[in-house]
Amino acid sequence: MSRDQSNIRNFCIVAHIDHGKSTLADRIMDVTGAVSKREAKQQLLDSMDIERERGITIKLTPVRMEYEYGGKTYIFNLIDTPGHVDFTYEVSRSLKACEGAILIVDASQGVEAQTLTNVYLAVDNDLEIIPVINKIDLPSARPEEVKAEIEEVIGIPADDAPLISAKEGVGIEEVLAQVVDRLPPPSGDIDKPLKALVFDSYYDSYKGAVSIVRIFDGTVSAGDRIMMMSTGMQFDVTEVGFFTPNSRAVERLEAGDVGYLCASIKNVSDTKVGDTITSSVNPTPEPLAGFKEAEPMVYSGVYPADGAHYDDLKDALEKLKLNDAALFYEPEVSAALGFGFRCGFLGLLHMEIIEERLEREFNLDLVTTAPSVSYRVVTTSGETVEVSNPTMLPPAGQIDHMEEPVVKAEIFTPPEYVGTVMELCQDKRGTFVNMTYIEAKRVMLEYEMPLNEIIYDFFDSLKSRSKGYASLDYEILGYKRGDLVKMDILLNGELCDALSLIIHKDKAYARGRVIAEKLKDIIPRQLFEVPIQAAIGGKVIARETVKAVRKDVLAKCYGGDITRKKKLLEKQKEGKKRMRQVGSVEVPSEAFMTILKFDK
C-alpha cells in the first residue's frame, strides 16, 4: 500500500533571525490542525527553554501534517531549520531533505545577511523558493519595496509573494496553496535500494539515538538491517514513524517520506547529520553527496566553579553530547582552574547555548575561559600542530610560523553606517573584498577576516555601531598565515595559564593594557600588593597594580551581639571559596571571562 508521492510536499522555511519563521510554522500547524493552540505552546515551544527565550531554533523538528486542497489530501512535511550562522551546515542538511522552501522576509527590515545565506543554500540545493513577506501588519511595513529587494538582491520573482502576518494569522492559506501549486513533489524510486539522509538526531532515553531522515529511494521498516554509509556501522531498525508533532510509529517509511528511525543506536555521534543510511542487505552504490563531520570552530575551557563538581560537569557534558554531535570535549587541566574540559563548538552562539544549558539544566556553576579558535602551528622541524588552547602552544623558539582561520564575512547595513562598519572591519584586521549597493537603503560589504577577531565582540560592536541595523554572516575560507603571538598574564609574578591568549602582534599592546586594567578592577584588594602584568615572551607590555587592602569593617558590636560580625566573616569566607587561587593571589571567577569582552 504505497502512497502516492505526488501528494507529498517536503519543505522548509528559511529566514533571517527574527523574521518570523517559528511563528509561521506554528500558524501552518494551526491551519492544518496538526496541534491545538494550547498543545502547540506546550509541546513545540517547551522543547528547549533557551530556544524560546532567544527566539531561535536549534533543534530541527520535522512535522507531518495533512492539508485538504482542491478536493485532495496532501501530506506536508515541514522541516524547521536553525536560523543562525553557527548551524549553517545543519541548515544545508535539512534543506537537502526538501524540494522547496518558503523564504520569509520581514516587510520592514527587508533582506538581511542570513536571508541571503539561507537562500543561497536553498538555491544550491535546487529548491523551489516561495518568497513570503511577513509582518505586513506593522506600520513600518514596506512590502512593495521589499518585493523589489527580493527580486534585485536574490534574483527570484516576488510579484506573487503572499503578503502575510504570521502573528495575526493573515495570508496563511495563500502560502499553503502556493506550497501545493508551486513546490514539486518528491520523485524517489520506491523500488531502488534504501537511500535515506540523516538530517538530525536526538537522544531518547528509551529508544536510544533517534535519526531523523528523509527517504530518497526505497523503503525502511522495523526489523530491517541498515548501514551508516560514512562508518559502515550496522544496526537493526526497531521502529520507524512520523512526528505529528508527537512521534507516531508507522509500519514503514517510503521514498519521499520524512520521519524518524530508531535502531538501538547508543550514541548520537553514530548517526551523523549528513550521513546516508542504506540497507545492509541491499545497499545503494552511492551515498548522498556532501557529508561533512561537524567541525568545532570555537574552543573554550569549561571548568566547574567548585572543583568538587568536576564529575557533575563530566556527566552533564556526556548527556549534552548524546544530543549534540557537534559538541566536542576533552579533559583539560589548568593550574589556575583545576580540572575541567576543553570544549569545541560550532560557533559563539553554540558555545553560549551549551554553557547556558550546563548552568541551567544541570545547575552547574561554571568558569569559562576566553574562546579561542584553532590555530595551525608550523614548527621549525616542519610539523603542523593544531592548537586550540593557548597554553599548549609550543615554545616560541620551535615555532616557524602560525596560521589562523579566516572567514568571508558578509555584512548588510544601511548606507549611513558604512563608514563606521568599515572602520570596525579594518580594526578587526579585515581585508576589504567588495561593496554592493543592494538598493538605496542597503549596502552589502564583503570582508575577509580572521575568525579570531569575530569571536570576541565583533557581533556586539557591529550591532552597537549600526544601532542594531547591520547583520552579519560568515563562512570559513581556510587558514592564513598571521603574525600571532601568545600573550600571558602574570599575577604577582606568577603566570595564570587560564588567562593566556593567542593574539595578533599589532593588537597585543592595546589588548594587554585593557585586560590589565579590567583585571585590576575585578581582582579584589588582598593583604599584599598584586602586580598584574601582560607579557609576550619575557617582555612585559602592560602593568597595573592592585593595592593592598588596608581596612576591614570595624563596626561597633552592640551589647555582645556578635551575629553581624559572624555573618560578615561567613560572607567573606564564602567569597573566598569562590575565588581561584593563582599562586598566592585570589582571583574571582569573573576574571577569566573579562578577557572575552574588551571593547571599551
Choose between 225 and 576: whose C-beta lies nearer to another protein. 576
Choose between 193 and 583: whose C-beta lies nearer to another protein. 583
Sign of the CA dihedral 320, 321, 325, 328? positive
Is residue 111 within 8 Å of residue 414, measured between CB atoms? no
Choose between 53 and 574: whose C-beta lies nearer to another protein. 574
Nearest residue to 228 via CA among 275, 179, 167: 275
Is residue 259 within 8 Å of residue 243, measured between CB atoms? yes
Is residue 511 within 8 Å of residue 503, measured between CB atoms? yes
CB of 527 to another protein, least distance (A): 6
Choose between 451 and 523: whose C-beta lies nearer to another protein. 523
CB of 574 to another protein, least distance (A): 11
CB of 579 to another protein, least distance (A): 11
Choose between 333 and 548: whose C-beta lies nearer to another protein. 548
Q: Where do runs of H (alpha helix) occur along 408-554? A: 418-427, 451-453, 459-465, 505-522
Question: How would you class 600 by CB atoms within 10 Å of its CB: exposed for 0-12, middle for 13-18, buried for 19 or more?
Answer: exposed
Report the alpha-carbon distance of residue 84 to residue 78 in Å, rounded: 18
CB of 491 to another protein, least distance (A): 17
Report the alpha-carbon distance of residue 222 to residue 239 in Å, rounded: 5
E-strand ranges in 237-327 read: 239-243, 247-250, 252-254, 258-265, 276-279, 298-304
CB of 593 to another protein, least distance (A): 25
Q: Which residues bind another protein (CB under 8 A)?
A: 526-527, 547, 549-563, 565-566, 568-569, 572-573, 576
Cell 584553532 locates to 374
HSE-CB for 122 with a 13 A CA cutoff: 26
Choose between 37 and 573: whose C-beta lies nearer to another protein. 573
CB-based contacts of 286, cutoff 8 Å, min separation 6: none
The 3 state secondary structure assigned to 217-236 is ECEEECCCEEEECCCCCEEE
CB of 557 to another protein, least distance (A): 7
Choose between 308 and 555: whose C-beta lies nearer to another protein. 555
Choose between 478 and 560: whose C-beta lies nearer to another protein. 560
CB of 572 to another protein, least distance (A): 6
CB of 589 to another protein, least distance (A): 18
